[in-house]
């Protein structure tokens, strides 16, 4: 990537590779001008232009009109077109600011494909994966040694202990083509992480080992990333002003050129068609280069159709809870003891304080009402208001603390002493208060318990499928731990708050979101890439999908936040299982041409397809909407009045040690019938391919319902099982 103005790729090198894009975005600096991303057909580059940058610069220069200057909010700017980035790997084209007249003139330029305005993205902000130093994926991959993970985020805090180089190989891998610089030109104030998001995601994916890490006494452990011997190249694309498509394109463009193996991006663009989604466009080029891109599903759940990054050629990751409980033990005056949820960061003492339950103020939605209670009291807050809001009101009332009744653990900051207890436990507490003359309570803080059940649960905030950008591929793909993940943080930003204004810094913080689940999956992808360097991104994704666990730690199906069984729209194939993904019997592979065939089947124009593929070298004459994907989704119209059959064709590749025989087992979605032909697949050799068809028959009586099932290919000797989820859903 070449840059113009002052956003320069001046990277910083630590034990790992950390790259930054300097300078905040200047998008929408004038009401008269808008930043556009322009796609060009590179075959039109004239011989007189020595480089693509020269060609694009000459195009922009030719659009320059009268030089004028103006002022906006005290800042001067020029009204001539301004080139921002040029792209040559993820896409062919550039980003620049234009007026409407200049944009119309640009469209007349030879080689013009398309242009659309810059977009803003939304950031999706114990070992529960059973990784073992003696067996499985860790030793098989040598902990991901020298795999390079490109992280597109808010930067990194290079001084963090998680980024020290002890145990790393001495030399940067020769495949790394980037330039990392340290010294006078490195402007720490512009390019380092200031909000902690990039530091948290990077260290989750590939942070080194750090002993005795905790969040103010909670979750004390040895911190490490999923792939602790991988290297990290961090591209700053998130700024205080926002996350812009032009920056994301520039980051992926540079990451491809630099030679990364896996790209981690925990942000996304809502409501963007594939041909205008910078992640979809740039990840196509990454996929062609063999680079795996792992993305977050978004934090707009639990409604259906809310996810972003539902892109056929990337991995889309949902978020779930862990079996670790951050706890506060509630001890009533009668001796009854309950374990509540809390991560109040202070070393508080709540001992034999008065416990108050007053229905006139138990909603805890007014600090004015709560102030009527003695400040040395602990109040009980009913399940009538979000816990986050109740905590704020109790804090503002300056009470000694509270007990919150809720099944939710979605809390930003625990600013007052208190604990969350479940509604089923609340009855005992309220009964004690109402039957006692002088009810009291004590609370112990800074406790951590393992083995919480049921776990994992689908996180309530995790965005659900089907994918708005392309609903005929089942998304999300998998679920990974995303709730209250402990990882490295920036000491310049508060990790905790006590009261209304006491800010607490920490080098490690607890964060929740699909931003936190995506790095777990990215780390697993890095480990698989190290263990199987010849696998394509589709093969790695297939291994993760077909081995994901649909069962929780109670050996029952994973449940949603409301304790109903979770559908694949919430969890994909299930919780990622790294060790099973290592030894994969069958994989569903896909080539770039397969994705082009899919694009050709859509109602896209030639230029819209070209914006994604960048080249007409691909064959557009073989449209097929039936991608060789390791999951199935049948969409129906709620107005249907007769039965319908939808058929899928799949090809599986034997990546086991040799000859193998598999038989299929099918669990049909409720109200449907599933037929698989043939029911047995016989492989004589490794890498041999076999084809099968799957048909789903469903009738009008399922209208309005989402139902789901699965097929499992079981090897005759029991060594491998290959599972694919099935969903039948209304289009809406």
Residue 100's pLDDT is 84
- Within 274-376, residue ranges assigned H as helices are 278-288, 367-370
Q: How far apart are CA 325 and CA 457, in angstroms?
A: 13
* 289-325 confidence digits (pLDDT tens): 999 999 999 999 999 999 999 999 999 999 999 999 9
Question: With left for phi above 0 and alpha for psi between -120 and 50, is residue 540 left, alpha or beta?
Answer: alpha
Kindly indicate the confidence band of residue 81, based on its pLDDT and cuts at 50, 70 and 90: low
Q: Which of 345-354, 505-514, 594-603 has the lowest mean pLDDT?
A: 345-354
Assess whether pLDDT exceeds 50 at residue 75. no
Which residue among the candidates 39, 197, 532, 618 is catalytic per the annotation?
Answer: 197
Q: Taking residues 270-275, what's their average pLDDT?
A: 93
- Would residue 720 show up in a list of annotated catalytic residues for this protein? no
Q: Which of 63-72, 112-121, 253-262, 379-388 has the lowest mean pLDDT?
A: 63-72
If one compares 79 and 715, the residue with the highest pLDDT of the two is 715
Q: Which of 47-56, 223-232, 402-411, 450-459 has the lowest mean pLDDT?
A: 47-56
Q: How far apart are CA 254 and CA 235, in angstroms?
A: 9
Assess whether pLDDT exceeds 60 at residue 105. yes
Q: Which of 218, 457, 444 is nearest to 339 (CA)?
A: 444
Assess whether pLDDT exceeds 70 at residue 410. yes
* 504-549 confidence digits (pLDDT tens): 999 999 999 999 999 999 999 999 999 999 999 999 999 999 999 9
Kindly indicate the confidence band of residue 190, based on its pLDDT and cuts at 50, 70 and 90: low
Strand 350-356 relative to strand 262-265, pairing: unpaired
% of the chain with per-residue pLDDT over 90 = 69
Residue 585's pLDDT is 94
Assess whether pLDDT exceeds 50 at residue 725. yes
Contacts of 351 by beta carbon, 8 Å cutoff, 6+ apart: 442
Q: Which two tokens stand for residue 561?
A: 């936040």
Q: Which of 729, 563, 540, 541 is nearest to 633 (CA)?
A: 729
Instruction: Render 134-153 in DSSP notation, one character per residue.
Output: SSSHHHHHGGGTT-EEEEEE
- Would residue 153 show up in a list of annotated catalytic residues for this protein? yes
Instruction: Render 205-216 in DSSP notation, one character per residue.
Output: HHPPPEEEEEET
Domains (ranges, CATH) in the chain? 28-117 (3.30.70.80), 122-322+456-579 (3.40.50.200), 324-450 (3.50.30.30), 631-730 (2.60.40.2310)
Identify the residue whose tokens are 């998998």. 478
Stretch (H or E) spanning 568: helix 568-571
Kindly indicate the confidence band of residue 281, based on its pLDDT and cuts at 50, 70 and 90: very high
Which residue among the candidates 153, 247, 253, 477 is catalytic per the annotation?
Answer: 153
Q: How far apart are CA 521 and CA 263, in angstroms?
A: 11
Q: In what order do the strands lie in the sheet with 34-40?
A: 2-3, 82-87, 93-98, 34-40, 112-117
Q: Taking residues 328-356, what's their average pLDDT?
A: 93
Q: Is the pTM of this model over 0.85?
A: yes
Which residue among the candidates 203, 230, 515, 573 is catalytic per the annotation?
Answer: 515
Identify the residue whose tokens are 């906006």. 72
Q: How far apart are CA 521 and CA 513, in angstroms?
A: 13
Q: Which two tokens stand for residue 351?
A: 């001992």
Per-residue CA distances from 545 to 15, 24, 342, 478, 725 (Å): 32, 38, 33, 6, 9
Per-residue CA distances from 161 to 15, 156, 157, 206, 527 (Å): 11, 12, 10, 12, 22
Residue 122's pLDDT is 67
% of the chain with per-residue pLDDT over 70 = 91
- Would residue 515 show up in a list of annotated catalytic residues for this protein? yes
Q: Taking residues 441-449, what's their average pLDDT?
A: 94
Kindly indicate the confidence band of residue 333, based on its pLDDT and cuts at 50, 70 and 90: very high
* 14-56 confidence digits (pLDDT tens): 444 444 443 444 443 344 678 888 888 888 888 888 888 888 8
Q: Which of 45-54, 77-86, 230-239 has the lowest mean pLDDT?
A: 77-86
For 451-526, strand residue ranges (E) read 478-481, 485-488, 496-498, 502-504, 508-511
Residue 91's pLDDT is 82
The three-state secondary structure class of 587 is strand
Give the CB-side neighbour count of residue 93, counting CA atoms within 13 A.
31
CA 15 to chain centre: 25
Kindly indicate the confidence band of residue 70, based on its pLDDT and cuts at 50, 70 and 90: very low
Q: How far apart are CA 636 and CA 702, in angstroms?
A: 10
Give the CB-side neighbour count of residue 319, counting CA atoms within 13 A.
31
Cβ-in-10-Å burial (0-12, 13-18, 19+) of 585 comes to buried
Q: Taking residues 567-584, what's their average pLDDT?
A: 96
Give Dmax (Cα) for the chain.
Answer: 92
Residue 80's pLDDT is 57
Query: In the predicted model, what is the mean pLDDT of the chain?
Result: 88
Assess whether pLDDT exceeds 70 at residue 623. yes
Say whether the peptide bond before residue 476 is cis (omega within 30 degrees of 0): yes
Assess whether pLDDT exceeds 50 at residue 429. yes
Assess whether pLDDT exceeds 60 at residue 110. yes
């Amino acid at each position: 990537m070449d840059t113009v103005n002052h956003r320069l790729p001046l990277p910083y090198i630590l034990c790992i590779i950390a790259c930054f894009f300097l300078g905040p975005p200047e998008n929408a600096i004038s009401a008269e001008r808008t930043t556009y991303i322009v796609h060009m057909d590179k075959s039109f580059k004239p011989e007189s232009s020595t480089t693509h940058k020269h060609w694009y610069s000459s195009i922009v220069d030719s659009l320059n009109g009268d030089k004028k200057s103006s002022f906006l909010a005290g800042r001067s700017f020029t009204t001539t077109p301004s080139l921002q980035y040029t792209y040559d790997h993820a896409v062919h084209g550039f980003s620049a600011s234009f007026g409407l007249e200049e944009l119309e003139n640009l469209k007349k330029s030879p080689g013009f494909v398309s242009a659309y305005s810059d977009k803003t993205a939304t950031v999706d902000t114990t070992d529960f994966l059973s990784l073992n130093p003696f067996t499985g994926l860790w030793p098989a991959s040598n902990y991901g040694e020298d795999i390079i993970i490109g992280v597109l985020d808010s930067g990194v805090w290079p001084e963090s202990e998680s980024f020290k180089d002890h145990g790393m190989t001495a030399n940067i891998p020769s495949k790394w083509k980037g330039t990392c610089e340290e010294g006078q030109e490195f402007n720490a104030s512009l390019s380092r992480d200031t909000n902690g998001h990039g530091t948290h995601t990077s260290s989750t994916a590939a942070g080194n080992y750090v002993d005795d890490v905790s969040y103010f006494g909670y979750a004390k452990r040895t911190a490490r990333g999923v792939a602790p011997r991988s290297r990290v190249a961090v591209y700053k694309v998130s700024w205080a002003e926002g996350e812009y498509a032009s920056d994301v394109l520039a980051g992926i463009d540079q990451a491809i050129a630099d030679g990364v193996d896996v790209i981690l991006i925990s942000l996304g663009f809502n409501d963007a068609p594939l041909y205008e989604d910078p992640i979809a466009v740039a990840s196509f080029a990454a996929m062609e280069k063999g680079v795996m891109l792992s993305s977050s599903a978004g934090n707009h759940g639990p409604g259906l159709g809310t996810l972003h990054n539902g892109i056929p050629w990337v991995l889309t990751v949902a978020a779930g809870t862990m079996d670790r409980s951050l706890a506060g033990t509630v001890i009533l005056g009668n001796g009854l003891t309950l374990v509540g949820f809390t991560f109040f960061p202070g070393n508080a003492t709540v001992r034999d304080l008065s416990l108050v339950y007053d229905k006139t103020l138990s909603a805890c939605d007014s600090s004015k009402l709560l102030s009527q209670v003695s400040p040395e009291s602990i109040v009980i807050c009913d399940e009538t208001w979000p816990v986050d809001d109740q905590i704020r009101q109790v804090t503002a009332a300056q009470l000694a603390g509270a007990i919150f009744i809720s099944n939710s653990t979605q809390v930003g900051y625990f600013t007052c002493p208190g604990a969350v207890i479940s509604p089923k436990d609340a009855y005992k507490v309220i009964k004690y208060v109402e039957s006692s003359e002088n009810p009291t309570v004590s609370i112990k803080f800074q406790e951590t318990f393992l083995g919480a059940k049921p776990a994992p649960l689908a996180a309530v905030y995790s965005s659900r499928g089907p994918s708005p950008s392309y609903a005929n591929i089942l998304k999300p793909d998998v679920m990974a731990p995303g709730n209250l993940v402990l990882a490295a943080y920036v000491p310049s930003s508060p990790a905790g708050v006590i009261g209304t204004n006491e800010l607490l810094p920490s080098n490690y913080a607890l964060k929740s979101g699909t931003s936190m689940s995506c790095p777990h999956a990215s780390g697993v992808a890095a480990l698989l890439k190290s263990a199987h360097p010849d696998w394509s991104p589709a093969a790695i994704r297939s291994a993760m999908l077909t081995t994901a666990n649909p069962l929780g730690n109670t050996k029952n199906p994973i449940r949603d936040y409301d304790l109903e069984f979770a559908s694949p729209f919430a969890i994909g194939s299930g919780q990622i299982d790294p060790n099973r993904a290592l030894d994969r019997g069958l994989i569903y592979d896909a080539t770039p041409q397969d994705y082009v065939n899919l694009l050709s089947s859509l109602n896209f124009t030639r230029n819209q397809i070209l914006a994604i593929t960048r080249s007409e070298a691909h064959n557009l004459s073989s449209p097929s909407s039936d991608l060789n994907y390791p999951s199935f989704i049948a969409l129906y119209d709620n107005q249907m009045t007769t039965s319908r059959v939808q058929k899928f064709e799949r090809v599986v590749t034997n990546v086991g040690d040799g000859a193998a025989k598999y038989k299929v087992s099918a669990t049909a979605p409720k109200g449907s019938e599933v037929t698989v032909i043939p029911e047995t697949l016989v492989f004589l050799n490794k890498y041999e391919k076999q084809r099968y068809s799957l048909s789903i028959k469903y009738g009008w009586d399922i209208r309005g319902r989402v139902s789901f099932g699965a097929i499992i290919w079981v090897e005759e000797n029991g060594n491998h099982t290959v599972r694919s989820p099935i969903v039948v859903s209304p289009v809406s």
